[in-house]
């Protein structure tokens, strides 16, 4: 039996202005629907989020996942476990965020602010491992590659920066920790959407960026991060969101005027089955014009998502409706009207095995551990003693293999402990006295060592100051 695919959707608090008759007024929430039937499965209340502020960790490998939603207009992130109806945790943030994302491996969480600041947390400990000023204007999107090793940030300043996660956390070289690994700088206006391919990561791959300048650009994620192709929309159309096919055969672009464009990345030649790539000529090649929208709505397009097998296209609108289309025919199948405000997030995923309402054993799917996030960085000594939760699942097969490695036991291993006599008690008193004497000698040695170290440092500082004055006099 094929796994069931579900839709995760979110909305903002902004009034949609829709006057459609029969539209129910609902509490803002994260809704889950079945992809094939659009049946409503569950709602996680209450939540309103801006675009690019909802993310999730799927349940896999006998570990429960979570949903993270940065709340609109608040320095707060709400966290739900798939298996629990109630809110699991509220994460307090350093400031209001404009975007929020969790890495695919569930280890890192990143947030971008209106001041251009990027925050990076370790989810299992809550440590704020990095805080850098990446842009001089508000950050619009943050995107991890599938291997969780690269973080891309886009901004209203028309730039996209590429960061190595390992370098962001490097305390041994603080001078380069905040510097980007590379930059994608060819747009002239704000970048609104970024998407990466399934093969994108530290070893290469491709990414797509959409900007207010009416272009969608395809980039290589292998240094020096060359521009591969530029696609242009018809005059006066502004892209608002995009979604790339999992096999990177095509992508869809939604616009603020309510149109959706289908952009193929391959074309057929004369021979049957013979395909050729579209574009890829680099920075010097002319832009490719995109003509003829395949879908047109009366409301601006706010979000797009493709199903896992690219057989369905989900279109979220400013009116609060989610339209489901069949591919490749683009036939309209149905509309979902669970939200009463603009759709800010759409994604598809296999139905979590521990979803609320599903029959499962809680001990088989322990909930994901999420610790409260730090609001400012602490000193290194405090981070070294920070506790991190690690789930170790017992495996009967693994235990049997470990037992087989033990040497065979003899009857001597089960001998009773020796009986303590009075003479043993006297020896114990002598041992304790020697231990106290040795500890006092160790403390005295430590104090002497500290004095010697301080003297050496002072001497070096004095010599450095003297040399500096001599160079100044010369």
Query: 436 and 376, same structural domain?
Result: no
Reading the block at residue 227, the tokens are: 């521009």
Query: 423 and 289, same structural domain?
Result: no
- DSSP per-residue string spanning 166-195: HHHT-SS-HHHHTS-SEEE---SS-EEEEE
Give the C-alpha separation, 65 to 391, whole Å: 13
Residue 231: is its pLDDT beyond 60? yes
Among the residue ranges 64-68, 307-311, 355-359, 417-421, the one predicted with the least confidence is: 417-421
Give the C-alpha separation, 243 to 254, whole Å: 9
Question: How many structural domains compose the chain?
Answer: 2
pLDDT at 362: 75
pLDDT band at 282 (very low <50, low <70, confident <90, very high): confident
Q: Could you tell me if residue 60 is inside a domain?
A: yes
pLDDT band at 201 (very low <50, low <70, confident <90, very high): confident
pLDDT band at 341 (very low <50, low <70, confident <90, very high): very high
Q: Could you tell me if residue 404 is inside a domain?
A: no
Residue 127: is its pLDDT beyond 50? yes
Query: 421 and 380, same structural domain?
Result: no
Query: 113 and 32, same structural domain?
Result: yes
| Tally of CB atoms within 10 A around 356 | 17
Residue 400: is its pLDDT beyond 80? no
Domain with 161 in it: 5-384
Q: Pick from 31, 32, 210, 52: which is nearest to 144 by CA?
A: 52
Q: What percent of the chain has pLDDT over 90?
A: 55
pLDDT at 405: 65
Q: Pick from 162, 172, 170: which is nearest to 196 by CA?
A: 162
Give the C-alpha separation, 339 to 224, whole Å: 43
Reading the block at residue 440, the tokens are: 């006092």
pTM above 0.85, yes or no: no
Reading the block at residue 426, the tokens are: 């006297």
Give the C-alpha separation, 162 to 155, whole Å: 12
Residues facing 204 on adjacent strands: 201
pLDDT band at 245 (very low <50, low <70, confident <90, very high): very high
Query: 175 and 32, same structural domain?
Result: yes
Query: 74 and 218, same structural domain?
Result: yes
- Residue reference for tokens 């579900």: 6
Q: Pick from 372, 414, 349: which is nearest to 30 by CA?
A: 349
pLDDT at 445: 87
Query: 39 and 163, same structural domain?
Result: yes
Say if residues 461 and 455 touch (Cβ distance below 8 Å): no
Give the C-alpha separation, 391 to 403, whole Å: 21
Residue 214: is its pLDDT beyond 90? yes
pLDDT in tens, 24-34: 557 889 999 99
pLDDT at 57: 94
Q: Could you tell me if residue 254 is inside a domain?
A: yes
Q: Could you tell me if residue 117 is inside a domain?
A: yes
pLDDT at 272: 64
Q: Could you tell me if residue 73 is inside a domain?
A: yes
Q: What angle do CA 261, 102, 173 make, to 5 degrees?
A: 115
* For range 27-44, the mean pLDDT: 92
* For range 123-129, the mean pLDDT: 91
Query: 138 and 237, same structural domain?
Result: yes
Q: Could you tell me if residue 394 is inside a domain?
A: no
Phi/psi at 423 (5° precision): -65, -35
pLDDT at 1: 46
Give the C-alpha separation, 159 to 202, whole Å: 20
Query: 230 and 367, same structural domain?
Result: yes
Say if residues 277 and 236 touch (Cβ distance below 8 Å): no
pLDDT at 382: 53
Residue 178: is its pLDDT beyond 90? no
Helix and strand numbers (H, E) in the chain are 5, 31
* For range 356-364, the mean pLDDT: 79
Reading the block at residue 168, the tokens are: 């962001």
Give the domain CATH number at 245: 2.130.10.10
Q: Pick from 87, 104, 181: which is nearest to 143 by CA?
A: 104
Query: 127 and 240, same structural domain?
Result: yes
Element (H, E) at 254: strand 250-255
pLDDT in tens, 403-446: 666 666 555 555 555 555 555 566 778 888 888 888 888 888 88
Give the C-alpha separation, 75 to 32, whole Å: 25
Q: Could you tell me if residue 403 is inside a domain?
A: no
Give the C-alpha separation, 222 to 230, whole Å: 18
pLDDT at 21: 47
Q: Pick from 231, 215, 198: which is nearest to 207 by CA?
A: 198
Q: Look at 421 and 200; give whichever has higher pLDDT.
A: 200
Among the residue ranges 25-39, 221-235, 316-330, 401-415, the one predicted with the least confidence is: 401-415
Q: Could you tell me if residue 410 is inside a domain?
A: no
Give the C-alpha separation, 365 to 356, whole Å: 12
Q: What percent of the chain has pLDDT over 70?
A: 81
Q: Pick from 119, 127, 126, 87: which is nearest to 100 by CA?
A: 119
Query: 446 and 378, same structural domain?
Result: no
Query: 130 and 209, same structural domain?
Result: yes
- DSSP per-residue string spanning 387-410: ---------HHHHHHHHHHSPPP-
Give the C-alpha separation, 49 to 30, whole Å: 9
């Amino acid at each position: 039996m094929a796994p069931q695919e579900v839709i995760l959707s979110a909305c903002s608090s902004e009034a949609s202005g829709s006057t459609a008759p029969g539209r129910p007024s609902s509490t803002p929430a994260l809704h889950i629907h079945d992809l094939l039937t659009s049946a409503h499965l569950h709602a996680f209340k209450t939540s309103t989020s801006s675009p690019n502020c909802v993310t999730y960790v799927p349940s896999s490998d006998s570990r429960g996942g979570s949903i993270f939603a940065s709340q609109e207009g608040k320095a707060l992130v709400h966290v739900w476990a798939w298996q629990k109806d109630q809110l699991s945790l509220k994460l307090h943030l350093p400031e209001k965020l404009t975007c929020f994302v969790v890495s695919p491996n569930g280890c890192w969480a990143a947030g971008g602010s209106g001041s251009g600041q990027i925050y990076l947390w370790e989810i299992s400990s809550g440590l704020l491992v990095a805080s850098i000023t990446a842009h001089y204007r508000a950050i619009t999107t943050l995107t991890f590659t599938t291997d969780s090793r690269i973080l891309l940030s886009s901004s209203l300043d028309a730039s996209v920066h590429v960061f190595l996660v390992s370098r962001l956390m490097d305390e041994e070289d603080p001078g380069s920790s905040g510097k980007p690994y590379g930059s994608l700088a060819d747009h002239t206006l704000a970048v609104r959407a970024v998407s990466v391919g399934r093969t994108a990561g530290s070893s290469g791959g491709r990414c797509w960026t959409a900007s207010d300048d009416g272009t969608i650009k395809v980039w290589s994620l292998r240094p020096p991060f060359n521009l591969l192709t530029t696609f242009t929309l018809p005059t006066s159309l502004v892209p608002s969101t995009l979604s790339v096919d999992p096999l990177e055969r095509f992508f869809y672009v939604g616009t603020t005027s309510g149109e959706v464009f289908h952009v193929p990345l391959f074309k057929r030649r004369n021979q049957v089955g013979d395909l050729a790539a579209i574009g890829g000529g680099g920075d010097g090649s002319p832009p490719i014009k995109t003509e003829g929208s395949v879908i047109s709505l009366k409301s601006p397009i706010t979000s797009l998502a493709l199903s896992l097998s690219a057989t369905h296209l989900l279109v979220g609108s400013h009116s609060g409706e989610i339209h489901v289309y069949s591919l490749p025919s683009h036939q309209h199948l149905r509309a979902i009207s669970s939200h009463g405000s603009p759709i800010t997030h759409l994604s598809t995923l296999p139905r979590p095995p521990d979803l609320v309402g599903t029959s499962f054993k809680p001990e088989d799917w322990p909930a994901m551990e999420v610790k409260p996030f730090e609001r400012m960085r602490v000193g290194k000594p405090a981070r070294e003693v920070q506790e991190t939760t690690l789930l170790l699942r017992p495996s009967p097969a693994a235990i049997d293999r470990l037992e087989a490695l033990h040497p065979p036991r003899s009857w001597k291993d089960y001998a009773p402990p020796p009986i303590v006599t009075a003479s043993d008690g006297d020896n114990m008193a002598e041992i304790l006295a020697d231990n106290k004497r040795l500890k006092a000698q160790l403390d005295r040695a430590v104090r002497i060592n500290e004095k010697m170290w301080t003297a050496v440092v002072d001497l070096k500082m004095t010599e450095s100051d003297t040399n500096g004055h001599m160079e100044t006099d010369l």
